[in-house]
Amino acid sequence: MHFNLLEKKSYLVLSGFLILGLSACGGERTTPEPIVAAAPEVESALSFENQATAGADSYATNCAACHGANLEGSTLGPLLSGFSFIQRWGTQTPALLLGNIQSNMPPGGNENISDEDFLSIVAHILSVNGVDSISNALTASSDFEIADNISRIIAQRQRPEPPAPQGLTVAGNTEEFVEFIPLTQEMLRDPDPADWPMHRRNFYGHSYSPLDQINTENVKNLSLEWVWNMHEGDSEPAPLVYNGIIYLINPGNVIQALDAESGELIWEHWTGPANRQDMRNIAMYDDKIIQATTDARLVALDARTGEQVWETVVADNTKGFANSSGPIVADGKVIQGLAGCARYIPEDCYISAYDADNGELLWQFVTIAKVGELGGDTWGGLDNIFRAGGETWITGSYDPDLNLTYWGTAQQKPWVPVSRHMTIFDVGLYTNATVAVDTESGVLDWYFQHVPAEALDLDEVFERVLVNRGDDKFVYSIGKHGILWKNDRVTGEFRGFQETVFQNAFTHIDPETGAVTYREDIQNAQLNEWTSACPSSAGGKDWHSMTYHPPSGLIVAPLSQTCLENAAREVALVQGGGGLAASRKFFEMPGTNGNLGKVGAYHADTLEEVWSFQQRASLHTGTISTGGDLVFVGDLDRRFKAFDVNSGDVLWETRLGTSVQGHPVSFAVNGKQYIAVTAALGGTSPRTVPGVIATEITYPRWGNAIYVFSLPDE
């Protein structure tokens, strides 16, 4: 729909909510009316105020579905108002905001939105955010600093909420429940079967618990032991369990310690910022819980009491840097990734390491090769400032014998080569690769770029699973292409691949080298040209981690079957610009009968698919396996299921309060085995894409919680 600026009646109605937040825009404003207000109708349409009013309508049509009617955000898109938005955009100009929005929003395509509409939408966003001291309509070159035009009164009105809690909100001490024993490197290297002391349980990322009390025979009797409701917001939690205590990351950077047996809360710490954003996982070392925050800080809490011990800044959040995953602690070094690196700024993404005792920076490994550096000639001659991407938004794994930490890197940004002002031959090191980094020095030991010059928002960033088969040491990964990659983890050498879901991005994958050849139309995709490909950006696999089950040698992965149409958008090479810059549409993967969810089991030696299970509902947890020969996984349709790891038969299932999302864990207290899983909302594209394809699946939009199951006592 194209909005006519002269149709005043309609926008008066549509913008009713705007008056609440912005009464200075009403009739009784005391500041002198701008001269244009007295001019004829067409002229008056060109004031900032009228532009903003018109923008409210375009916003409602094109943006509100994801960003909320009042810019408050939803599970489909971040908030565009208030303190955190102004913190990010306040120092920028309207022109830059406009450029970013035009390049990136709405994600589905912008064919029906005129340049004029985009300008008025920006005026609306600024207006709701309290920009009140300008009168002239915005133009594409308006270059004032946004925050300079927000009066204090209006700015305060943007934050009517009471201040969020900060620090300890519930005080307690785990020692009232159990004696505290510091968690050492040796204990992390070979975790006690009763514990799940790190994300994916061991350094190798196996997501495997050797506990076997719950097995294929008795899993049918699994029953609920207790439930604990978590804070609301986006959430993909990976709880830790150590010595009978569950450490639980909640949305909004809140950590809780719970007694694992009784579900009793021991302490709660609000590290902030108190948003609704997602943090997947935390780490534990010695007597500390180590937490990455969504605003790119690292904070250590006393594991006994939740009191803060140290804090350090990983990267400057006001420049867009952020985190959604936490660290791995390798021999006392807290190793942390970084996300939010799509902007054209001098700073790039890095993996960094800190001393677990005090948070002191030890090293940084920058994932983007700069001009003059090794690999620096793979960026099509772009200036350093325009080299973006290479996020490490999923926690790496670690080989204590080789002293290497293994991470996946995300692709270059923007998403399509033509938007990057690059070609399919500008591979952009070290993006979309496995990087093996020395844990002592932070120096790159080897890299293997799985998909160079990535062109469809299919990053190869997810967990690296380390497996020893005989004398061979391998690293396995599955990126969004759904290709299971096997590499030698000593040398990085390619050792094989398996397509776990249908893909048509590549016409050839070299069986000797693993080199991929993109389909020709993907290689040559031009601006605003639709390209159709499978899987979609929700990934053949996404952030939900896979498991390695040592007794059977099987890798069992949670997979997803959707496809996309993608069209690149133009991105200007201007400092502060950048972004993702594509329009996308989504559809069912052909030949899957509408089954979005797939659990696939692959043998680590042959990579052959041993079994698979498909269902309509997409999967929203990682898979875990156990010594009882079980695999657990949860889905959008609120189901939590147990499979026989050898046959793929479903042996047990139950239904929870809302979509089952996060990373299940298994642990034992006083000799009794438990299975815990979270129900949660949010979770980015693995939720939004099924949200437009499997629209019949409904679930409550609240209900984050942890559920703990066990066998009934004899």
Partner 1 sequence: MKLGRKSSLFVLISTLLFSTITQAQEVFRARLSPMPTTPQTVATILGEGEVILTLNGNSLNVEGSFEGMSSAATGAHIHNGPPALPGPVIHALEVTQATGGSVVGELTLTEEQVEALHNNEFYIQIHSESNPPGELRGWVFLRSHFDN
Part of the chain binding partner 1 (CB under 8 A), chosen from 163-171, 241-249, 397-405, 686-694: 686-694
By a kind-dependent CB cut-off of 5 to 8 A, residue 321 interacts, out of ligand HEC, partner 1, none, with: none
* Min separation Cβ 422 and ligand HEC, Å: 20
Reading the block at residue 312, the tokens are: 């350090």
Q: From partner 1, ligand HEC, none, which one binds at residue 403 (CB under 5 to 8 Å depending on kind)? A: none
63 binds ligand HEC (CB under 6 A): yes
* Secondary structure (DSSP) of 541-572: S-SS--EEETTTTEEEEEEE-EEEEEEE----
Which residue is associated with the tokens 């308006």? 142
State yes or no: residue 695 binds partner 1 (CB under 8 A): yes
Report what 85 binds from partner 1, ligand HEC, none; CB cut-off 5-8 Å by kind: ligand HEC
Q: Which of 82, 106, 414, 600 binds ligand HEC (CB under 6 A)?
A: 106
Q: Is position 121 an interface residue for ligand HEC (rule: CB under 6 A)?
A: yes
C-beta of residue 249 within 8 angstroms of C-beta of residue 261: no
How far apart (Å, rounded) are the C-alpha atoms in residues 413 and 54?
A: 32
The stretch among 12-20, 57-65, 440-448, 455-463 that binds ligand HEC (CB under 6 A) is 57-65
The interface region with partner 1, picked from 289-297, 381-389, 675-683, 685-693 by CB under 8 A, is 685-693
Choose, by CB under 6 A, the member of 67, 280, 450, 616 that binds ligand HEC. Answer: 67
Question: What is the Cβ-side half-sphere exposure of residue 586, based on CA atoms within 13 angstroms?
Answer: 24
Q: Is 88 in the site for ligand HEC (CB under 6 A)?
A: yes
Tokens of residue 244, six digits? 């009978």
CB distance 527 to 569 below 8 Å: yes
Interaction pattern, residues 36-65, with partner 1; x per rule: CB under 8 A: --------------------------x--x
Closest distance of CB 635 from ligand HEC, Å: 22
Q: Nearer Cβ to partner 1, position 304 or 541?
A: 541
Calculate the CA 667 to chain-centre distance. Answer: 26
- Residue closer to partner 1, measured from CB, 64 or 402: 64
* CA dihedral sign, ordered 210, 215, 216, 222: negative
Classified as helix, coil or strand, 378 is helix
Question: 256 vs 498, which CB is nearer to partner 1?
Answer: 498
If binding is defined by CB under 6 A, does position 78 make contact with ligand HEC? Answer: yes
Among 25, 45, 56, 66, binds ligand HEC (CB under 6 A): 66
Q: Please, what is the minimum distance in Å from the beta carbon of residue 647 to ligand HEC?
A: 39
Q: Does 92 bind ligand HEC (CB under 6 A)?
A: no
Nearest distance in Å: CB 382, partner 1 = 30
Give how many residues touch ligand HEC by CB under 6 A. 18
Q: Which tokens sit at 150?
A: 């927000």
Residue with tokens 């290689």: 523
Residue 468: beta bridge partners?
473
| Residue with tokens 């016409």, as numbered in its chain | 507
Q: How far is the CB of 66 from ligand HEC (least distance, A)?
A: 3
Contact with ligand HEC (CB under 6 A) among 5, 15, 49, 77: 77
Residue with Cβ nearer partner 1 (192 or 565): 565
Residue 693 contact partner, candidates ligand HEC, partner 1, none, CB within 5 to 8 A by sort of partner: partner 1
Question: Distance between CA 430 and CA 376 in Å, rounded?
Answer: 9
| 108 contacts partner 1 (rule: CB under 8 A) | yes
Q: How far apart are CA 459 and CA 391, in angstroms?
A: 10
User: Which of 698, 655, 677 has its CA nearest to residue 544?
Assistant: 677
CA–CA separation, 270 vs 276, rounded Å? 12
- Residue 692 touches which of partner 1, ligand HEC, none (CB < 5 to 8 A by kind)? partner 1
End-to-end Cα separation, the chain, in angstroms: 65
Residue 654 backbone phi and psi in degrees, to 5: -145, 170
DSSP one-letter string for 172-190: --GGGTS----B-HHHHHS
- CA 524 distance to own-chain centroid: 29
Cα distance between residue 267 and residue 562, in whole Å: 41
Tokens found for residue 498: 């398996």
Per CB under 6 A, the list member of 34, 107, 109, 551 interacting with ligand HEC is: 107
**Residue 138 CB partners (closer than 8 Å, separation 6+):** 48, 51, 94, 98, 119, 122, 123, 126
* Contact predicate 649/661, CB 8 Å: no
User: Which of partner 1, ligand HEC, none is residue 580 near (CB under 5 to 8 Å by kind)?
Assistant: ligand HEC
Does residue 580 belong to the site contacting ligand HEC (CB under 6 A)? yes
**Under the rule (CB under 8 A), what is the footprint of partner 1?**
62, 65-66, 76, 106-109, 482, 499-504, 532-534, 563-565, 584-591, 593-594, 612, 614, 688, 691-693, 695
**Under the rule (CB under 6 A), what is the footprint of ligand HEC?**
62-63, 65-67, 76-78, 80, 85, 88, 101, 105-108, 121, 580
